[in-house]
Amino acid sequence: GHESPTCMSLPFIMPRTKATNRIGPHNLDVLSVIFGSLLGDSHAERHGNGVRISFQQESSNVEYLMMLWRFLSDRGYCSTKKPKLLIRTAKAGQLRFYFKVHSWTFSSFIWIHSIFYKDGVKIVPDCIGDYFTPLALAVWIKDAMSYGLKLATHNFSYNDVLFLCTVLKDKYDIVATPNRNRDQWTIYIHSESMPILRGIVKDFVVPSMLRKQA
């Protein structure tokens, strides 16, 4: 269940892994980007003696992906080599074009993996509200749709989606409801809350995201 934010101090009590010199804690902007991305289609991956964050976007979202890469590389969190266009074969044999960015592997990201994954399945951590900054919110809505806003929640359970709706209401007075989309749940942000949302995230979004919120 989602009772109380118990994970605030975890990064400071995790033992440092000798195999890597990359330790935390990390500033709130970096954590906001990571948490917002993990609510979307990014993944935290166990890698060696630590965890890395994997960011992936379709080629249509290249502007957003490059913004993420610059943010991370400028702060020493990933390679300074510009991401390359990749190709994969999707269902029905269609070619899909995408970009991928991996962060460096950090022992001090282990706590993030431990709160976002249970038995290998991604979940919404109880303490998400503590990191649900305007920047995290902007990162999360990168795939926004117009006429109200539907947020893909990538196989989160109904209870997780309902919890996120509660956090949106409690922190920002944004009205949102779970919405069934075939075999998955999405979050529908009501149109009357769109002006509130735009006001909160306007300083953090790239131009293409603003167009999607029009």
Residue 214 lies in a domain: no
Report whether pLDDT(183) > 90.
no
Residue 24 lies in a domain: yes
Q: Are residues 71 and 115 in the same domain?
A: yes
Report whether pLDDT(206) > 50.
yes
- At 106-150, the pLDDT tens digits run 999 999 999 999 999 999 999 999 999 999 998 888 754 444 688
CA distance 14 to 44: 17
- At 34-46, the pLDDT tens digits run 999 999 889 999 9
User: DSSP label at 106?
Assistant: B
Q: Are residues 175 and 112 in the same domain?
A: no
Residue 148 lies in a domain: yes
Q: Are residues 27 and 124 in the same domain?
A: yes
Residue 212 lies in a domain: no
Q: Are residues 121 and 28 in the same domain?
A: yes
Q: Are residues 125 and 148 in the same domain?
A: no
Contact of 106 with 76, CB cutoff 8 Å: no
Report whether pLDDT(6) > 70.
no
Average pLDDT over residues 168-173: 96
Going along 16-126, which residue ranges are E strands? 43-47, 50-58, 86-89, 95-102, 117-118, 121-122
More confident residue, 103 or 96: 103
User: DSSP label at 114?
Assistant: H
Compute CA distances 102 → 116, 132, 214, whole Å. Answer: 17, 22, 31
Average pLDDT over residues 159-176: 96
CA distance 44 to 48: 13
Looking up residue 51, the CATH number of its domain turns out to be 3.10.28.10
Q: Are residues 126 and 45 in the same domain?
A: yes
CA 149 to chain centre: 16
The whole domain housing 133 covers 17-142
Taking the alpha carbons of 49, 51, 52, 55 in that order, is the dihedral positive or negative?
Answer: positive
Q: Which residue type, as a one-letter code, is found at position 201?
A: V
Does pTM surpass 0.95?
Answer: no
Taking the alpha carbons of 134, 137, 138, 144 in that order, is the dihedral positive or negative?
Answer: negative
Residue 61's pLDDT band (boundaries 50, 70, 90)? confident
Q: Are residues 138 and 149 in the same domain?
A: no
Contact of 99 with 85, CB cutoff 8 Å: yes
